[in-house]
Structure 1
Amino acid sequence: MANSFAAIEIGKRSLMAHSTQINTAGHNISNADTEGYSRQRVQIKTFDPLYRPDLTREERPGQVGQGSSVESINRLRDELLDQRIVAQSNQETYWTTREKYYTMIEQVYNEPDEISIRTNMDKYWQSWQELSVYPESQAARQAVVTRGETLAESIQQRYTALSGIGNLINGDIEATVKQINTITKQIAEINGEIVKVKAMGDNPNDLLDRRDLLVEKLSGLANITTDTRDNDEFMIHLEGNILVQGHVARNFEVEPMTDNNGYSRVIWSDTKNTVQVSGGTLGALIELRDVDIRNEVQTLNTVTMNFADLVNDVHRNGIGMNNVTGLDFFVQHPFVTSVNGNYDRNGDGVDDHSYIFRFTGTNALNPQEKVGLEGTMTFSGKSGNVNVPYHATDTIEEVVARINDSDGEVKAYLDRENRLVLKATTSSAMENPDFVIRHVEDSGMFLASYSGILQGSGAENAYDFAQADAVNSLRGEFAVAPVLNPAGYIAVNDAVKGDVLSVAAAYPNNQGKSMIGDARAAVEIASIRNTNVMIGKDRTFDDYFANSVTNVGLKGEQAEMNMLSQNAIMDDLRNLRDSISGVNIDEELAEIIKFQHGYNAAAKFVSVIDQMLDTVINRLGV
């Protein structure tokens, strides 16, 4: 049976329980504005009743209650909702990052009409048209040179702007890697503290809040997943790789890539393998730099290289009023000094590759003529080689179109003498060089004796760049690949700027002189504007300008729409979480008033019991 002082113990427990509840509510209020804090509640249970099986019980049901006690202090959190937020956060930051940078890219392309590349190129073509009408005019020649300089400067400005964005993104990647390393280290340290607290039988509520906040921030930086093992070991994964395991965190590093403009590659510190990340801020930044900006720069380089190459090809064969010939109009810097394009790629001191940009066949072809041959051409592609078949009933025009429509990184066209030209495009894979033809092969005779590009058919006569003097397999002319990023250094030849009479508007006569009134070269250069010259997938220069602006605008619109959609989704999820875990000041104050009344009642109960005991002890014997 209960002793006389049991009621005092019941009152004491009630006072302690209500005091703990008031303190917890105060803790909630003080952290109402703390980021990541989850409100806490005290779980109260009835204290174990007084019951001894070996003692005689009264003939009544029930047990003598012993009041209440604090069972635990728990935080209010929906773990499934937390997992949804972690899963969605990386998409929100991914599209937010893309939208921010595409706004910058759009500003590069949204040039005022009077200074845009397209406007300057149009003026450049117009100057050649004017020269074709007035081939003896020195002023017309000066206009060609001046507008050529203006065009070159506008191309360089766009390249500089795009490269500047790429450098900015690269800096953000390095900063994001440091941020990820800092957060994962903090999470691992908190994991160790949580394990210690749980081992003592306590609930580390505030530590769990801090960890959840860091995990949410980390999920915004990369597309992570989390799970907890049976032994309470908390783990974070990234694309199937362990990022944090308990108190151990793996780190990232950055190392420069010589084949990507010196930009940094993100690698695992321990294995040195490239980090694969497809979401979050880091995933967006890597994709923006290595895909979006790289494609924009490559496309600009492609149009610049083809533009300068086509103009130079005509100008080099033309002649100026001063009877000077053989001059390039635009400066071109070859990647190697070897006339055969030989290059030491592995750096062992021995030439082991051939860097060639363009092949030109020896035979003039009729675009409408049927080839009358069967075979399969093989060209280097984005991932491995691609095959392009041709049939006896195909016309030359159809075969050229089939080459251009394939996924090969080699494009074709017929030059002014109707000779077949094969030229390299930019490479999709970073490990492969731009503007370098890597493989050309023909099982039949179309690329051999018919067009005069290869020495023969079959694999034994194929052109492959992975050897020195690979040009020995060619029959016609070839041009060495240019230095990386021709858009960054394109300029009018100093020899042409120094003497505008060197501008070649005519072709030399039989005596190698310029004839009065001859403007054939000027007409041919002006006609390049609307000629199918295959700038990557774009067939003309006008196609390039139309598609480049459209693609940037559409990608910017896509980023903005997806960002707004993800923002709406995340707002709903966070509002739902706040309704569960957030601190409501009014609710906490109401709880404090309730607990205060309970505390007062418990105190009154103790006071009454004290008076009863005083009566029993001090007054019954009187």
Structure 2
Amino acid sequence: MSVLSTGTNALIAFQRALATVSHNVANINTEGYSRQRVSFATTTPTAYGSDYIGNGTQITDIARIGDQLATSRLLDSTGELARLQQLSSLSSRVDALFSDTATNIAGQWSSFFDATTGLSANASATADRQNLLDNAGALVTRFKQLGGQIDGLNTEVNNGLLSSTAEANRLAGEIARINGQIGSNAASAAPDLLDQRDQLISQLIGHTGGTAVSQDGGAINVYTTGGQPMVVGATASTLTTVADPYQPGRLQVALKSRATTVTLGPSALGGQIGGLLEFRSSMLDPTSAALGRLATGLAITYNQQHAAGVDLYGNLGGDFFNLPSPTVSGNSGNTGSASFSASVEDLSNLDGQNLLLKFDGAQWTASRAETGTSVAMTGSGTSADPFMINGVALQVSGTAAASDKFLLQPTAGAINGLSVDITDPSRIAAATPVSVKADLANLGTGQVSNLRATDAGNPALLTPSSIEFIDANQYTLDGAGPFAYAAGQTISANGWSLTLDGAPAAGDSFSVGPTGAGSSNNGNALILSNLDQAKAFNGNTITLNGAVAGLTTTVGSAARQASYSADAQQIIHDSAQGARDSVSGVNLDEEAADMLRLQQAYQAASQLISTADTMFQSILSAIR
């Protein structure tokens, strides 16, 4: 009977071991599956006097094979890969907008200034004037198209945050439920249930980033990249989306606890959610601000010069483009009545980056919205002495309360209100507002060059003036003087300036007066056509053309860097996956060898049972 019992125990043990091998082979393609191994041990022997006779084998454990360090590395890699892939995917779409000739700003930009150059060649031609207006409208449309695409990507980010937070909450709830099922002893839990939990944790970290920490008793706690608890034991936290306090159409991610809702910034979350937030803060917002800065630079520079010319009606030029003022939005939690009006006063210092204004009860301070870095702020905020911050003038009205905050967006909203102010081609101020005539009796070789309006707002700009030379080194202006003169020297008055080529002689005179209606003068158009080379930004060191090229380069560089980082992280992730699979993955050769070994053992156990039956039958026959 002992032989029969021993054989039966072995047969059952080998049968279960074969079933485990079959289970491994069947799940070779199951994501997250950890191979399982059967542990054998001898059964309790039977004492016969002073000796013990063994009773065969038994299964003591069916456990999954794993390496906690390799699993932790894979989890860390999973969250970072998800973040970088999300960032790279969206950044490449922005890059495509600014690099593709069908959608970028550079093509329409060049066409607009080419049209201005065409007008300078034939300033009185209606066709050339209309062509300039058409190209100006096309350029504004291109700005708005790019702005619309950026707004669309902002909407995608919002939708991505909604779907990712909902999925993260579902996964956290499932993990907490399994933690509860496992209870205080993970060793007794089904290996497949543990695999299921690990797979859910991997998916959760793919959404939020972070780490998984085992606690005593078998439960696993999951924390986000910033250390916020998503799962603690059998309790799951809830992620939600809340409206940005400055921009209600923009969603932020927050962690809900029993009593409070805490907003989480980009640094507090990784995974897909972190990638969405980082894309918006590091790519989308700067690109929107830079595009608006470019539009602002174009409008202000072109408007200033256009105002320094006269149109075909003989009137001084006004604004060529309409440009909205910078946006200042109050925090939804403000309790005071303060509000701001803003204007761009110094284009050379305008960087376009969003700024946070705070009132501490006594004074205002400014800082970068994305980094918190302090920014210099001068003035008192009155109309006579406005605040000056990075080229933007701010006037405050009303009364602020302590802790009131405002978001200043110098250029981010510029695209929405950008438009061409002129519809009548004859209103294009292509001519210099003043013209000069040399007296026919002049004896010298002096010829007027570079006549231009330097101050279109001077009320005496169109007042006739007379320049008379006493000799080659002295002149009078409207009878005043004499003033010293040197060859090539600029002569200026009443908001205009000119230079002379050649040498004037004693008695030579030049008359300066307003340009009449219908003039074919192209002086202002020539200046307008070269404004793309005007050094307008970064302390008057970067031209408008340089800013266009710089924007394209910056966007492309950021997209490439995100792509390189994602590719590098993919290699790291593949390595971590390989390390995990080398320990926990199913190896068909190994399983085949185990199956052959267990099959032979099973057959041997069957032979034991057959032998025991023969022995038993022999005993029965002997006593029959």
Say whether the fold is shared (TM-score over 0.5). yes
Over 3 Å counting, the alpha-carbon distance change for 1:596 and 1:536 in structure 2 is farther
User: Does residue 1:244 correspond to 2:234, yes or no?
Assistant: no
Can you give the 5+ residue segments of structure 1 that lack an aligned partner in the other structure? Answer: 362-379, 386-407, 410-426, 443-447, 471-479
Aligned to 2:70: 81
3-state SS of the aligned residue for 1:273?
Answer: strand
Aligned to 2:171: 183
User: Does residue 1:155 correspond to 2:176, yes or no?
Assistant: no
Aligned to 1:253: 240
The amino acid across from 1:501 in the alignment is: S
Aligned to 2:458: none
Identity %: 23
2:369 paired residue among 401, 414, 429: 429
3-state SS of the aligned residue for 1:42?
Answer: strand
2:433 paired residue among 484, 502, 507: 507
Over 3 Å counting, the alpha-carbon distance change for 1:210 and 1:344 in structure 2 is closer
Q: Do 1:353 and 1:467's aligned partners in 2 also have CA atoms closer than 8 Å?
A: yes
Over 3 Å counting, the alpha-carbon distance change for 1:207 and 1:564 in structure 2 is same
Please report how far the alpha carbon of residue 263 of structure 1 lies from its aligned counterpart in structure 2 after TM superposition. 1.9
The amino acid across from 2:548 in the alignment is: F
User: Does residue 1:111 correspond to 2:100, yes or no?
Assistant: yes
Please report how far the alpha carbon of residue 85 of structure 1 lies from its aligned counterpart in structure 2 after TM superposition. 0.5
Please report how far the alpha carbon of residue 174 of structure 1 lies from its aligned counterpart in structure 2 after TM superposition. 1.9
Over 3 Å counting, the alpha-carbon distance change for 1:604 and 1:344 in structure 2 is closer
Question: What is the rounded CA distance, in whole Å, between the counterparts of 2:285 and 2:533 in structure 1?
Answer: 27
Please report how far the alpha carbon of residue 602 of structure 1 lies from its aligned counterpart in structure 2 after TM superposition. 1.6
Alignment of 1:403-422 (within 5 A): none
Question: What is the rounded CA distance, in whole Å, between the counterparts of 1:149 and 1:589 in structure 2?
Answer: 73
What is the total number of aligned residue pairs between the two structures?
Answer: 518
User: Does residue 1:234 correspond to 2:187, yes or no?
Assistant: no
Q: Do 2:536 and 2:542's aligned partners in 1 also have CA atoms closer than 8 Å?
A: yes
Q: Do 1:352 and 1:466's aligned partners in 2 also have CA atoms closer than 8 Å?
A: yes
1:50 paired residue among 40, 46, 61: 46
The amino acid across from 1:28 in the alignment is: N
Aligned to 2:127: 139
Question: What is the rounded CA distance, in whole Å, between the counterparts of 1:179 and 1:487 in structure 2?
Answer: 35
Aligned to 1:598: 601
Please report how far the alpha carbon of residue 382 of structure 1 lies from its aligned counterpart in structure 2 after TM superposition. 5.5
Deviations 1:57-91 (A, max 9, x none): 2xxxx632121111010111111110110111122
RMSD, aligned α-carbons = 3.9
Alignment of 1:485-500 (within 5 A): 485-493=413-421, 496-497=422-423, 499-500=424-425
Please report how far the alpha carbon of residue 296 of structure 1 lies from its aligned counterpart in structure 2 after TM superposition. 0.5
1:282 paired residue among 267, 273, 277: 273
Please report how far the alpha carbon of residue 528 of structure 1 lies from its aligned counterpart in structure 2 after TM superposition. 2.8
The amino acid across from 1:321 in the alignment is: L
Question: What is the rounded CA distance, in whole Å, between the counterparts of 2:199 and 2:188 in structure 1?
Answer: 20
Aligned to 2:576: 573
Deviations 1:356-381 (A, max 9, x none): 223479xxxxxxxxxxxxxxxxxx99
User: Does residue 1:582 correspond to 2:582, yes or no?
Assistant: no
Aligned to 2:3: 7
Please report how far the alpha carbon of residue 294 of structure 1 lies from its aligned counterpart in structure 2 after TM superposition. 0.9
Please report how far the alpha carbon of residue 177 of structure 1 lies from its aligned counterpart in structure 2 after TM superposition. 1.5
Aligned to 2:321: 330
The amino acid across from 2:418 in the alignment is: I
2:378 paired residue among 434, 440, 453: 440
Question: What is the rounded CA distance, in whole Å, between the counterparts of 2:262 and 2:297 in structure 1?
Answer: 37
Please report how far the alpha carbon of residue 208 of structure 1 lies from its aligned counterpart in structure 2 after TM superposition. 0.5
Q: Do 2:14 and 2:601's aligned partners in 1 also have CA atoms closer than 8 Å?
A: yes
3-state SS of the aligned residue for 1:274?
Answer: strand
Over 3 Å counting, the alpha-carbon distance change for 1:25 and 1:324 in structure 2 is same
Deviations 1:103-156 (A, max 9, x none): 21121012328x742233233234334434543333332232122112111211
Q: Do 2:160 and 2:276's aligned partners in 1 also have CA atoms closer than 8 Å?
A: yes
Please report how far the alpha carbon of residue 268 of structure 1 lies from its aligned counterpart in structure 2 after TM superposition. 0.9
3-state SS of the aligned residue for 1:135?
Answer: coil
1:214 paired residue among 200, 214, 231: 200
Q: Do 1:73 and 1:203's aligned partners in 2 also have CA atoms closer than 8 Å?
A: no
Please report how far the alpha carbon of residue 580 of structure 1 lies from its aligned counterpart in structure 2 after TM superposition. 2.4
Q: Do 1:535 and 1:541's aligned partners in 2 also have CA atoms closer than 8 Å?
A: no
User: Does residue 1:169 correspond to 2:157, yes or no?
Assistant: yes
Question: What is the rounded CA distance, in whole Å, between the counterparts of 1:129 and 1:324 in structure 2?
Answer: 22
The amino acid across from 1:352 in the alignment is: A
Q: Do 1:252 and 1:269's aligned partners in 2 also have CA atoms closer than 8 Å?
A: yes
Q: Do 1:303 and 1:535's aligned partners in 2 also have CA atoms closer than 8 Å?
A: no
Question: What is the rounded CA distance, in whole Å, between the counterparts of 2:585 and 2:28 in structure 1?
Answer: 8
Q: Comparing 233-242 with 584-593, which one deviates more in the overlay? A: 584-593
3-state SS of the aligned residue for 1:231?
Answer: coil
Aligned to 1:194: 182
Question: What is the rounded CA distance, in whole Å, between the counterparts of 1:259 and 1:457 in structure 2?
Answer: 20
Please state which structure has a larger fraction of its residues in helix.
1
Deviations 1:10-38 (A, max 9, x none): 22211211111122122222222222211
Q: Do 2:317 and 2:428's aligned partners in 1 also have CA atoms closer than 8 Å?
A: no
Q: Do 2:115 and 2:135's aligned partners in 1 also have CA atoms closer than 8 Å?
A: yes
Question: What is the rounded CA distance, in whole Å, between the counterparts of 2:409 and 2:387 in structure 1?
Answer: 24
3-state SS of the aligned residue for 1:439?
Answer: coil
Please report how far the alpha carbon of residue 180 of structure 1 lies from its aligned counterpart in structure 2 after TM superposition. 1.2
Please report how far the alpha carbon of residue 468 of structure 1 lies from its aligned counterpart in structure 2 after TM superposition. 4.3
Aligned to 2:548: 545
Can you give the 5+ residue segments of structure 2 that lack an aligned partner in the other structure? Answer: 348-352, 359-364, 401-407, 435-461, 465-512
